[in-house]
Structure 1
Amino acid sequence: MAENIVSVALVEDLLIESTPELESGADSDVMALSALLQPALDLVVEAYQQVSRHAGAEVAFRRFVERLAQAGD
């Protein structure tokens, strides 16, 4: 099994920070959401690592991620 780029503890902290009611819920809920979110976060980090070798691509990638995040608000 491949090692996660983003730690499980960080993913769980992000989930609880963004959805505080998870802290008082079942651990299985956090674990299920973590299993769903983990691969997506790893892909974003991996993509950023690849494009960060090129300044123009890095800036474009950052802007894309920022706009994507703002669209979800």
Structure 2
Amino acid sequence: MKPAKNPWWQAAQTPRQGFITGGVWLFVAAGWLVLAVGDPSPWRWAFAAAWAVIGVGYLVSAVVLRRRQRDSG
């Protein structure tokens, strides 16, 4: 039998990796947000929003992985 593939929503292999990566992406989003406040160009707001969505996606993936580990163990 082949090993099961990761679900489509799983952005990280482990919860720890998901929390760290999500935090980094949210930090990048905060930096773009600071730049957007100083120079309100629409593309800066778009970058800030995109990085924030990616960061939240990693955090949600990490939380789901953590809950699955607790339920199965």
Structure with larger Rg? 2
TM over 0.5: no
TM-score relative to the length of structure 2: 0.37
Give me the TM-score of the superposition, normalised by structure 1.
Answer: 0.37
